[in-house]
Amino acid sequence: MAHQFAIDTIWPYIYNQMVSMEDAMTSTTRFSSTPDSDAKRRHFAFKASPRTFFDFKEGVLQLPKALVAWKMIREGLEFHVVEAVAEHLDTDLEVVLQVIGLTGGTVTRRKKANLLNPQESDRLYRVLKVTALAERVLENPQKAKAWLLRNNRALGGQSPFSLLDNEAGTEAVEDLLIQIDHGVYS
């Protein structure tokens, strides 16, 4: 009960952070490009992560607008977003790390720096995007999580989640979800 109160109390703050971040990212205002201003912008852009991606009140994944996501990916998502995704999907962290291509010492370095590189961030965003699509199409976050992690004949016996490590696999999963949404595949 106390946890729900905390979530209800913090959500308006998080939403305002997201709106402020989006306004800053889409503004025509030019920032000076000094190392100090870059550090301030980076801190501002990631202040709300990982909550930027999750509506904890509803348990549903929420993605930022494309331009905001593009900027966040280019600058690198924070490592704890990976942990939040694993928790959201009720799966092991190692499963998510494998899909985004992180192993061994790289995991330790990324966790210590709390920042993924742009390529890893892009792969993580693919996971976020497909998860959000599955939650929308299947109309239930729990069903979406189960569907993503279960082997599927339409995907050559692979789990949808295992195909998210590259763009072609991601496209196959998105196509299947669109077919399900339109009643073509059941």
Residue 11 located in a structural domain: yes
**Any bridge partners for residue 55, and if so which?**
60
- Tokens for 6, please give them: 């905390």
How many Cβ atoms sit within 10 Å of the Cβ of residue 157? Answer: 8
Cβ 79 vs Cβ 120: under 8 Å: no
- Tokens for 84, please give them: 């939040």
pLDDT tens digits along 124-175: 999 999 999 999 999 988 999 999 999 999 999 999 999 999 999 999 999 9
Helix (H) and strand (E) counts for the chain? Answer: 9, 2
What is the pLDDT averaged over residues 97-106?
Answer: 94
In this prediction, residue 93 has a pLDDT band, given cuts at 50, 70 and 90, of very high
- pTM for the full predicted model: 0.70
Residue 186 located in a structural domain: no
Residue 43 located in a structural domain: yes
Question: pLDDT at position 33, please?
Answer: 36
Question: pLDDT at position 57, please?
Answer: 54
- Provide the number of structural domains found in the chain: 1
Residue 67 located in a structural domain: yes
Q: What is the spatial distance between Cα 3 and Cα 131, in angstroms, rounded to a whole number?
A: 24
- The domain containing residue 37 runs over which residues? 2-181
Position 171: which residue type? E
pLDDT for 102 beyond 50? yes
